[in-house]
Structure 1
Amino acid sequence: MTEWVYANLTDIMGKVHTIALRKDYESFFKNGIGIDGSSIPGFASVNRSDLVAKPDMRTFVKIPWRHDEYLVLLKTYYEDNAFDKDPKNVAEKADLALKEMGYEAVLRPELEFFVLNENGRGNTHYFEPPYSDVTFEYRKKVSEAVQDMGIPIRYHHHENASGQIEVELLWIDGVELTCDYTIYTKIVSKWLAKDMGMAVTYMPKLKKDMAGNGMHIHMFLKKNGENIFRGDNEISQEARYFIGGILEHMPYITALTNPTINSYKRLNGGLEAPRYLAWGYRNRSTLIRVPARMKDIEVRNADSSANPYLAFSLIILAGLDGIKKKIEPSEPVDYDLYALSKEKLKEYPALPESLEDAIELMESDEFVKYALGNELYDTFIDMKKLEIEEFLQAITDWEIKKYRDI
């Protein structure tokens, strides 16, 4: 029986492209395989389309629920050099930047998504018990499969909205590997859903009155094997500088952490989606939360539509810039920002209100341009401007309902 390897490439917007190869195709594992970069959205023009995709053997893994089939993630090259527009290469650069400063990042992502054909039996709620949660068997299978692939799972549970679930990974060393494991978790969640006659979506905001899909990310830095964020009654000074860097740069990288038009329906809709550039201890109304154990921080604004290679990398690089420049954040907030009046909230700097605003801020920022590299930076902006233009030309159901009888 033929053994198959499904090799996966993540494009600029975070979508996965897969090629199936025989496991005994030795040349692929030694030299990679040629691909048409012009067929990957935003990757390459026709006259520079010959790219080589090589397997990252750290990610080679057996698919637990299929016989003699495997997964591997790809990295792309152009003329023997790492291809500048490959998001996976951005994460590798983030790890190198950490190493140059003597650090290693340890991350723990939380993935929220909806099971679309969840039929709503019972009153689904946060921590819905297995006997009344019709998503239970599905999310259990996803979590077990991911664990069998060597990816550590902290827990899985039903979230606040009907049919919404969360799978949270355990601590992972390194930015690139965290992104790899995030992509694999998404692949598994979609593949098993299809096998079970279901479908899932990572769309940030599915309905107006329902909680959206965030992609919170916990993190801390290690130096010489020791957690340098850890404190007793508060976090360390290095952690404060790291927070200061993230808060300073976040408005300019929001197009990467919240990259869709729909993302801003979540950010502007409340329900624990943070908009204001604040941080606090144990405070889920702030953009950055310091959990009770004082050993890590949680960045809460990113959503599940983000490309993890871009979003996680830029958050880490922003934090490192804070340490380099000793950027002191504002004082921590200990009250509920959601409970403040609109007038009071005007005192707090906020994230952009739309993708259009986020792109405009990103265009004005040299930090993001340097972090992504000129080609990826320009291409991402061009692709998002086209997306905004397409949306502005689209006729929505809301418009038809609102204006049809005029």
Structure 2
Amino acid sequence: MNQELSMNANLVVASLQKPASEFTKADIIGFIRQNGIRMVNFMYPAGDGRLKTLNFVITNEAYLEAILTCGERVDGSSLFSFIEAGSSDLYVIPRFCTAFVDPFAEIPTLSMLCSFFNKDGEPLESAPEYTLRKACRAFTDVTGMEFQAMGELEYYVVAPDTGMYEATDQRGYHESGPYAKFNEFRTQCMAYIAQTGGQIKYGHSEVGNFTLDGCVYEQNEIEFLPVPAEQAADQLMIAKWVIRNLGYKLGYNVTFAPKITVGKAGSGLHIHMRMMKDGQNQMLHDGVLSAAARKAIAGMMELAPSITAFGNTNPTSYFRLVPHQEAPTNVCWGDRNRSVLVRVPLGWTAKTDMCALANPLEGQNHFDTTQKQTVEMRSPDGSADLYQLLAGLAVACRHGFEMSDALEVAEKTYVNVNIHQKENADRLEALAQLPDSCAASADCLQRQRAVFEQYNVFSPAMIDGIITRLRSYDDRTLRADLEGKQDAMLALVKKYFHCG
């Protein structure tokens, strides 16, 4: 038995003794037969960014073979705004590599994510998952590398305030119980996410911690490991589904909303990225950030204003992206600097063996720490369309390799100081700014749409739909209009409480 696979939390992987990427239809049928699975769920993201579910009860193997091979019809006009009711039929076909046992179902159930196909049996050009696939393929074609990503999934848990062991306001970072109230909830979420195939790095409580209207609001984070970007989007999508379902089961409310109230930490969805070739991380060269990494950063600097159209998709997003907070507003990047848009995190480039120093009984290790180096985009939040966001970032990083002045752009936008300090005012003045509303974000996307449509990655219909939706909020002056109006701000938060 393969010990690595036998320890995998995904029951299908452990049972079949093969990685999920190698699952076949015969494997799925065999697992269903041998494990008493009575139902199959097809799941797929729609235009609102949420997972939809189609249930099948399995009564015989012929029917199981049929649905796994042929998929099923769905009403595309009810899933996507850009599909007209007069010609709305789509096919959903399961992707066997995403199979997992539903941790919430009383009836033994196997779930799989699906791809969309049109009436001619071709991938739906504007489908979220297919858009990301095209973006990753174009990135590899241009650079010769694989685009990998992972997310930091931040959320608030909301429950009645018991008044016991009250946490310090806005000081919840990495807090232990009993001051952090929902650590066990988070760890149970992590266990379920791992069962669905999610590759988790770690979890912890976050800064945000306050009481409002008799309820405690506690911010938590689950961070993932870098994987191919298509898998990263799938894992984040399922993780949000898991967290919400377990919260509902336990009587907690959970929100991924960008902002809850003024003066309290908002929730981001920071995305870390790396580029891989022949199994090696290409982000470093001789212990420093590589030219390839700086080109990718330059592409993000160039397209950052329009990436908000995928990563910051409702008006409350722009109450998080305000000056002088940890959330960025200036288009710049830097090392270990949380005031910048793209951060290069601490990357294990020191030459010392810290494990041996901390543990005198250990010999010298030869762990390849270069694999851990990433760069982090800090503007997105929980309202993001996960597939569009990662597709947009793949486009931006690819675009950096196509810019003749990429390294100059990277040098010009590099910041190694706190940009908000008075002595750096001239430098701040020279930097581009992120949009301050959905309407402004739509304007940026309109100006830069050609780059996203290149190589047929984003379809024109998808870009048109995103721009139309963003402009429909009519929020160009909303941030100024609501300044100092706490009740109006809370009403806005309530409206978008369950975004994404």
Partner of 2:299: 245
- In the TM superposition, residue 136 of structure 1 has moved relative to its aligned partner by 1.1
Give the match for residue 346 of structure 1: 429
Distance, in Å, in 2 between the alignment partners of 1:390 and 1:251 is 15
Counterpart of 2:196 in structure 1 is 149
Q: 3-state SS of the aligned residue for 2:420?
A: helix
The 3-state SS of whatever aligns with 2:207 is: coil
Q: What is the match of residue 321 of structure 1?
A: 399
Aligned mates of 1:391, 1:41 — CA distance in 2: 29
Match of 1:298 among 376, 394, 410: 376
Residue 444 of structure 2 corresponds to which residue in structure 1? 361
SS of structure 1 residue aligned to 2:315: coil
Distance 1:108 1:263, change over 3 A: same
Does residue 39 in structure 1 map to residue 78 in structure 2?
yes
Q: Secondary structure at the match of 2:443?
A: helix
Counterpart-to-counterpart distance in 2, 1:391 and 1:6: 44
Task: Name the CA distance, whole Å, in 2 between partners of 1:66 and 1:53.
Answer: 22
Q: Is the 8 Å Cα contact of residues 118 and 135 (structure 1) preserved in structure 2? A: no
Residue 18 of structure 1: aligned partner:
53
Q: Where does residue 75 of structure 1 map in the other structure?
A: 115
Is 1:28 equivalent to 2:67 in the alignment?
A: yes
Asked whether the 8 Å contact 1:277–1:350 carries over to 2, the reply is: yes
Amino acid at match of 1:165: N
1:54 corresponds to 2:98: no
Hey, what does 1:127 align to over in structure 2?
A: 174
Alpha-carbon distance, 1:71 to partner: 2.0
Change (3 A) 1:134 1:23: farther
Aligned-partner SS, 2:273 = strand
Against the structure 1 CA distance between its residues 292 and 35, is the aligned structure 2 distance closer, same or farther, given a 3 Å change threshold? same
1:254 to 300, 308, 313: 308
Paired residue for 1:330?
411
Aligned partner (choices 118, 126, 131) of residue 90 of structure 1: 131
Corresponding residue SS for 1:207: coil
Deviation at 1:319, TM superposition (A): 0.7
In the TM superposition, residue 313 of structure 1 has moved relative to its aligned partner by: 1.2
Are 2:461 and 1:375 aligned? yes
Distance in structure 2 (CA, Å) of the matches to 1:357 and 1:23:
49
**Structure 1 residues 160 and 97: CA distance shift in structure 2, 3 A:** same
The equivalent residue for 1:384 is 470
Larger gyration radius, structure 1 or structure 2: 2
In the TM superposition, residue 383 of structure 1 has moved relative to its aligned partner by 2.2
Q: Which runs of 4+ in 1 moved over 6 A?
A: 389-392, 399-402
**Maintained 8 Å contact 1:278/1:330:** no
> Match of 2:417, as an amino acid?
Y
Cα distance in 1 between the residues matched to 2:297 and 2:241: 31
Indicate if the aligned counterparts of 1:216 and 1:301 stay in contact, CA closer than 8 A.
yes
Structure 1 counterpart of 2:71, one-letter code:
G
Aligned residues: 399
Deviation at 1:243, TM superposition (A): 0.4
Aligned to 2:221: 166
Alignment deviations for residues 120-166 of structure 1 (CA, whole Å, 9 cap, x no partner): 75115111102321111110110111112232211111111111100
Q: 1:308 aligns with which of 375, 386, 393?
A: 386
Give unpaired runs (5+ residues) of structure 1: none
Decide whether the 8 Å contact of 1:215 with 1:303 is kept in 2: yes
For normalisation by structure 1, the TM-score amounts to: 0.91
Of residues 144, 151, 159 in structure 2, which corresponds to 1:109?
A: 151
CA 1:399–1:230: 2 relative to 1, 3 Å: closer
Structure 2 vs 1, CA of residues 23 and 346 (structure 1 numbering), >3 Å: closer, same or farther? farther
Amino acid at match of 1:355: C
What whole-Å deviation, never above 9, does each CA across 1:231-287 have from its counterpart, x for those lacking one?
345200011111001100111221112111110000016431011111111111111
* Structure 2 spans left out of the alignment, 5+ residues: 1-35, 210-217, 350-372, 490-500
Residues 400 and 291 of structure 1, relative CA distance in 2, 3 Å threshold: closer
C-alpha separation in 2, matches of 1:310 and 1:250? 14
> Is 2:226 the partner of 1:175?
no
Letter in 2 for 1:388: D
Instruction: Write the distance in 2 (CA, Å) between the matches of 1:264 and 1:400.
Output: 17
Identity %: 27
Structure 2: how far apart are the matches of 1:374 and 1:16? 24
Find the residue that maps to 1:346 and give its secondary structure: helix
* Per-residue Cα deviation, 1:70-109 (whole angstroms, up to 9, x for no partner): 2211211112111122101111112211332321122221
1:66 Cα deviation from its structure 2 partner: 3.8
Do 1:255 and 1:355's aligned partners in 2 also have CA atoms closer than 8 Å?
yes
